[in-house]
Structures are given as C-alpha cells and as structure tokens.
Amino acid sequence: MGLPKQVRLVDVGPRDGLQNEPGVIETAVKLELIDRLGAAGVRHIEAASFVSPRWVPQMGDAAEVMAGIERRPGVVYAALTPNLKGFEGAREARVDEVAVFTAASEEFTRKNINCSIAESLERFAPVIEGAKAAGIRVRGYVSTVLGCPYAGDIEPAQVAAVSRELLDMGCYEVSLGDTIGVGTPLKAKQMLEAVAKAVPVAQLAAHFHDTYGQALANLYAVLEEGLAVIDSSVAGLGGCPYARGASGNVASEDVVYLLHGLGIDTGIDLQRLVDTGHWIAGRLGRSTGSKVGLALGCS
C-alpha cells in the first residue's frame, strides 16, 4: 500500500488519558486541555465518556465537560457510550460523535463492560439506531487486538470478525486497540492484514498503548499497510482501569513528530501540542510522558 499522505490524529487524552487518574481533576482543567488541543490543530478529540460513574468516577462530569467546550469549527468532539443510557446522555450533551466499545476477548469484555461480546453488540444496536436518527456518527472500538491481560494471545481472525460486525451494524470506522501495549510490529502487521480482509483499511484506526515501548514501531508497521487514522494521547497519558498493567496511550507529540518526519501531513502545530503536554502533565504533578515533549521543551 505505501505510506498515507495525510493522517487524522484522534487525541483521546481527555478521555483515555484521564479516565484512570486517581485524583479529582476539575472540569475546568479538562476543558482547558480540550481547548488547547483544538488550538494546536487537533481536529478530532475524544472529550468524555458517558459510562457509569460508579465504574469510572473520573468521567462522572461528562455532561459538564461537553456543555463547557467552546466548540471550534471543524473539530469533532466525541464521547464513549457503552449503552443506550450513555448514548442518551451524550445526545443531550450535543456530542458530535459517539463511540461504542467492545473487545476481541470475552474475558476483557466481561471485566470492562460486564457482558459478553455478543451482548455488547446487542446493547450497541439501539445506540447505533438512535445515533443514526439523530445524525450522529458512531465509531467502534475493538480492544485487546494484540493480546489480552486475561486471555493472552488473540487470534487476528477474531479481531476481524468483531470489526466486521461493528461495521455491518453501522459504525463508520473501527479503532483497533492494543489495550495493554503488548504488540510488536510483525504482530501488528499480521493483525492488520487479517482485519483488512474483512474491513477496508480506510475504515480502520490504530489505538496503541505504549506499555512496552513498541507503539511507534507498531504504528509504522500499520502505516505501511496504508492505515491513516491514529489515536494517541497528549503527554502519553492514560491507561484502562480494567486492563491490568496497561499504561498510557502512545504520546500524540511522538506520533506527530514521526508523521511529520515521514512527510505525512497532520495539520497539527507540534510545538503547541508539546506545550499542551507539558501543561497537562504539570497540572497532574508529573513530567510529560512524551520523549519529543522532553526533547523540545516548552516554547
């Protein structure tokens, strides 16, 4: 396929990046993070998650976050919705896009959303129907595509089957999550090749966590297969509360540096993104998890 000319970066920092933070993060801080990402040129921001606040307390202010965003033209503000209750909250909060999420592993799905893969898809049907009626696009996530903390190795054919199902149900795009960051480039390439037989690469995104420091290499492997949508998190924030050992998403700054170095356009101002990474890391009382952020420093 060869490398794409342009990549759409989806910054999931305000959601995936913050959902696992133990301390209370004020809504105002989340809003400033979202605003700074938009100002840096990020055009797709996963801003919140309409899940049970008992399961993920940090996302309990999703409605306030969505209501407080000063919307920038051309920016998509998305939120996770695991079921109809979540979707209704998201629709009332005027999200631009919702995401349903399941996994390639039964064990992980059970821990994460308390049901089987088949039951999760049943729950998504009315969400997708409601979204269609409201003119809201639906993204689908498949977690544990390169390994599961509970089940171990995952068959690429299983990833392909769940991805195809999400697409058939009405998702416009499926994001492939290496939830615990265990993948290596050869595995990532083989997984993508298998999934691409069932779903066009143009409708796939890569969502790689960087637990083992392999995410950039894995991204390069799937970019070579023509994949052109990448999820990442500013400052490398993040982790899934239901995936033992999962650390942050690959840092957006590192991805943008890689892409620009390959001559791939992102529309993002790298230095502004780096500044945003330092700012949010400072608010959380630590230094940035982005190597590029450390190298470039604040402007």
Which amino acids are annotated catalytic? 240
Tokens of 107: 């064990």
Q: Cα 250 vs. chain centroid, distance in angstroms? A: 10
Residue 266, both tokens: 């992102």
Complex with ligand HMG: residue 178 or 253, whichever CB lies closer: 178
Which one of Mg ion, ligand HMG, none interacts with residue 83, CB within 5 to 8 A by kind?
ligand HMG
Stretch that binds Mg ion, among 13-21, 113-121, 167-175, 216-224 (CB under 5 A): 13-21
Residue 118 to residue 62: CA distance in whole angstroms: 27
The interface with Mg ion within residues 16-45 (CB under 5 A) comprises 16
Residues 64-93 that bind ligand HMG (CB under 6 A): 80, 82-83, 85-86
CA distance 271 to 269: 6
Rg over CA atoms, the chain = 17
What is the biggest distance separating any 2 CA atoms in the chain, rounded to whole angstroms?
49
Which DSSP helix (H) or strand (E) runs through 191?
helix 185-196
CA nearest 102: which of 172, 49, 48, 163?
Answer: 163
Q: Which stretch binds ligand HMG (CB under 6 A): 1-9, 107-115, 161-169, 281-289?
A: 107-115
Query: At its nearest, how many Å lie between Mg ion and the CB of residue 225?
Result: 21
Residue closer to ligand HMG by CB (options 130, 177) is 177
In the numeric block, the tokens 């309409």 are attached to 50
Q: Does 101 bind ligand HMG (CB under 6 A)?
A: yes
Where on the chain is the footprint of Mg ion (CB under 5 A)?
16
Residues that bind ligand HMG (CB under 6 A): 16, 19, 49-52, 55-56, 80, 82-83, 85-86, 101, 112-114, 141, 143, 177, 179, 207, 209, 240, 242
